């Protein structure tokens, strides 16, 4: 009888040990109480100019950081390479910044430790061209009524881009909390020095700028292909590689 009891106890103990060793936690087979795996986050940052061409110069000085974690950061070398070592498995926000470039925030990046994970990032230089004599008028194109935004830029042999933001407040800007409307990216054609964007009554109404509303618009030079990111608090796009904006325009929506 004692032998049977002893065998039963040994069998139960062995089964418990096997079950405990096979437990899988959120971080992998080490289990919830086990140590988190660490690894290295590496990659290259490339920089593009306002026309969308890669900048073939010294790429050092780009700061790569994790907001809220001061010890986990890196700065690129002349080739644009960066590396953050001893990073624990987890979900992080990554922030890339450099003077004269549009900053980039990567939300909720999942990093799995245990080795080296490579992540490259593109950045854009802030545009150096300016927009002059920007104005707005009510126009009708065919049967479609809307607002025309016009202006002047110096003639350039390469195409440039710009973007328009609108709001019911005169404090409108590119900041997510200040605009309710943003246009598609508009193009100033190569060899031309004027631009003309038509904002239809319907697209403005869809953004909340309905007929009779006093609206305000502002125009920014925009780097071709610049990276953007989403502001999680508002759900709106953040545009960072933008040049000096025009004056704020005021118009009553037709």
Q: What's the confidence (pLDDT) of residue 121?
A: 96
pLDDT tens, position by position, for the chain (254 residues)? 444 444 443 343 434 333 333 333 333 333 454 467 999 999 999 999 999 999 988 899 999 999 999 889 999 999 999 999 999 999 999 999 999 999 999 999 999 988 999 999 999 999 999 999 999 999 988 888 999 999 998 888 999 999 999 999 999 999 999 999 999 999 999 999 899 999 999 999 999 999 999 999 999 999 988 889 999 999 999 999 999 999 999 999 99
Do both 201 and 177 map to the same domain? yes
Q: What's the confidence (pLDDT) of residue 226?
A: 84
Q: What's the confidence (pLDDT) of residue 154?
A: 84
Q: What's the confidence (pLDDT) of residue 9?
A: 38
Mark out the alpha helices in 192-238 (DSSP H runs).
201-206
Residue ending a domain, choose from 91, 107, 124: 124
pTM: 0.81
Q: Is residue 224 part of a domain?
A: yes
Q: What's the confidence (pLDDT) of residue 145?
A: 93
Count structural domains, the chain: 2
List C-alpha distances in Å: 81 to 9, 69, 203.
58, 20, 43
Do both 120 and 142 map to the same domain? no
Domain enclosing residue 82, as ranges: 38-124
Q: Is residue 30 part of a domain?
A: no
Mark out the alpha helices in the chain (DSSP H runs).
2-21, 201-206
Burial string for 119-158 (b: 16+ CB within 10 Å, else e) reads eebebbbbbeeebeebebeeeeeeeeebbbbbbbbeebee
CB distance 75 to 152 below 8 Å: no
Residue ending a domain, choose from 101, 124, 147: 124
Q: What's the confidence (pLDDT) of residue 129?
A: 92
The tokens of 209 are what?
Answer: 């700028």
Q: What's the confidence (pLDDT) of residue 240?
A: 92
- Which of 150, 152, 153, 149 lies closest to 129 in space, CA to CA? 153
Q: Is residue 246 part of a domain?
A: yes
Do both 152 and 240 map to the same domain? yes
Q: What's the confidence (pLDDT) of residue 35?
A: 60
Do both 84 and 146 map to the same domain? no
Q: Is residue 244 part of a domain?
A: yes
Do both 98 and 195 map to the same domain? no
């Amino acid at each position: 009888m004692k032998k049977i009891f002893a065998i039963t106890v040994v069998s139960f103990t062995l089964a418990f040990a096997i079950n405990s060793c096979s437990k899988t936690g959120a971080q992998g087979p080490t289990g919830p109480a086990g140590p988190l795996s660490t690894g290295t986050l590496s990659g290259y940052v490339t920089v593009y100019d306002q026309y969308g061409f890669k900048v073939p110069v010294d790429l050092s000085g780009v700061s790569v950081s994790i907001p809220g974690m001061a010890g986990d950061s890196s700065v690129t070398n002349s080739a644009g390479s960066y590396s953050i070592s001893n990073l624990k498995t987890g979900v992080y926000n990554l922030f890339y910044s450099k003077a004269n470039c549009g900053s980039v925030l990567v939300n909720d990046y999942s990093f799995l430790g245990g080795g080296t994970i490579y992540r490259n990032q593109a950045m854009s230089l802030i545009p150096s061209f300016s927009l002059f004599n920007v104005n707005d008028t009510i126009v009708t194109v065919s049967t479609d009524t809307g607002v025309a935004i016009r202006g002047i830029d110096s003639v350039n042999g390469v195409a440039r881009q710009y973007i328009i933001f609108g709001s019911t407040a005169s404090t409108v800007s590119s900041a997510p909390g200040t605009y309710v409307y943003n246009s598609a990216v508009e193009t100033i054609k190569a060899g031309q020095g004027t631009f003309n964007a038509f904002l239809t009554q319907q697209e403005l109404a869809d953004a909340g700028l309905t007929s009779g509303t006093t609206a305000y618009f502002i125009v920014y030079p925009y780097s071709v292909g610049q990276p953007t990111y989403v502001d999680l608090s508002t759900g709106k796009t953040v545009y960072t590689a933008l040049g000096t904006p025009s004056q704020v325009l005021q118009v009553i929506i037709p």
